Amino acid sequence: MTTGLCTDERFRAHVPPWEHPEKPERLAAIERALDEAGLPARMVRVAARPATRVELERVHGRAYLDELEATLANPPGNGSGWLDADTYFSRGTWVATLLAAGSTVEVATRVAAGELDNGLALVRPPGHHATGDQAMGFCLINNVAVAAAALEADGKRVAIFDWDVHHGNGTEAIFDANPRVLYVSTHEWPQYPGTGAAHHTGVGAGVGTKVNVPLRKGTDGPAYLEAYDRWVKPAIEAFEPDVILVSAGFDAHRDDPLGGLKLTEETYDTTLRHLLSVQPRLMMVLEGGYDLGAIARSTVRCAKTLLGDP
């Protein structure tokens, strides 16, 4: 298998002003674990690049982007601050944010074009809570949505599967009325941000292309896979996507401090293998995951699966 890998030192320049779960050490732990497993040498390096304004404006409003750039490109005061109660910025945030979105697009488009069989974009800040005009939940630009919109503009049918412990309210809202983008989410319920009820299936022309699978706190791997087989599997298979994008948050892992689900590396592996059987053209983009050991082990396991290891 030809598996693309994109990560960059500049993603670590997004630095919290004080202790925060979404921190540069997350990416450092993943990269160290990948190196120890000898995986980067088996993968195709994809250079990080910033998203263009055209790519960003497919999903985010001009006024929001203008305001975000004005704040982040020349940050006030000591160079750090808060966009909301959860979402910080620092002097390196604007560059990291543009690179996170652009790199996700780059890997996704190369996979869609067949230059890569599949890919892994290890980026930060994460993105799936960012709506078209609002930063929230540690997220500023919706990376997976920017990539999905780029693929849709190229005529592709895109399925987004979000296995983060939190519902990707921003991604769903951006594509809620769009029938050419399937959004499927498994998430703990109730949990931040309070969206993702099972009865919500989209709006307007998008009804039926949004699938929410809320799970009770304490749901373990076998119960998760049972829910996956019942709700997620048939939805993705019926949609027949040209590309699958995985919003890969690892905070549903049993060791994560912010989540209440009890998944393991084996759960992610089984899920990913089914997705690849439906559509091998698949890319993963990092979202949440706040236990450094769990996020590192889970990413290594998924990278090996992408590479075709048994």
The whole-angstrom separation of Cα 54 and Cα 43 is 29
| The CATH number, out of the four listed (3.10.50.40, 3.40.800.20, 3.20.20.140, 3.30.565.10), of the domain defined by the range 3-306 | 3.40.800.20
3: CB partners within 8 A, 6+ apart: 42, 43, 44, 116, 117, 118, 119, 120, 303, 306, 307
Give the C-alpha distances (Å, rounded to integers) separating 29 from 73, 136, 287. 28, 24, 15
Q: 4: which strand partners?
A: 44, 119
At 76 the pLDDT is: 82
The whole-angstrom separation of Cα 204 and Cα 46 is 38
- Name the residue type at position 99: L
Cβ–Cβ under 8 Å, residues 210 and 231: no
At 246 the pLDDT is: 99
The whole-angstrom separation of Cα 297 and Cα 299 is 6
Q: Which stretches of 73-205 are DSSP H helices?
A: 93-112, 143-153, 169-175
Cβ–Cβ under 8 Å, residues 21 and 290: yes
At 215 the pLDDT is: 98
pLDDT in tens, the chain (310 residues): 799 999 999 999 999 999 999 999 999 999 999 999 999 999 999 999 999 999 999 999 999 999 999 999 988 888 999 999 999 999 999 999 999 999 999 999 999 999 999 999 999 999 999 999 999 999 999 999 999 999 999 999 999 999 999 999 999 999 999 999 999 999 999 999 999 999 999 999 999 999 999 999 999 999 999 999 999 999 999 999 999 999 999 999 999 999 999 999 999 999 999 999 999 999 999 999 999 999 999 999 999 999 999 9
Look up residue 52 and give its DSSP letter. Answer: P
At 38 the pLDDT is: 98
- Tokens at 70, concatenated: 């004005």
Cβ–Cβ under 8 Å, residues 138 and 183: no
Q: State pTM to two decimals.
A: 0.98
At 206 the pLDDT is: 98
State the greatest distance between any 2 C-alpha atoms of the chain, in Å, as a whole number.
52
At 78 the pLDDT is: 83
Cβ–Cβ under 8 Å, residues 291 and 255: yes
208: CB partners within 8 A, 6+ apart: 179, 201, 202
93-112 and 143-153 helices cross at what angle (nearest 10)? 40
Map residue 49 onto helix, strand or coil: coil
Q: What sign results for the dihedral spanned by CA atoms 284, 287, 288, 292?
A: positive
Which active-site residues does the annotation give?
129
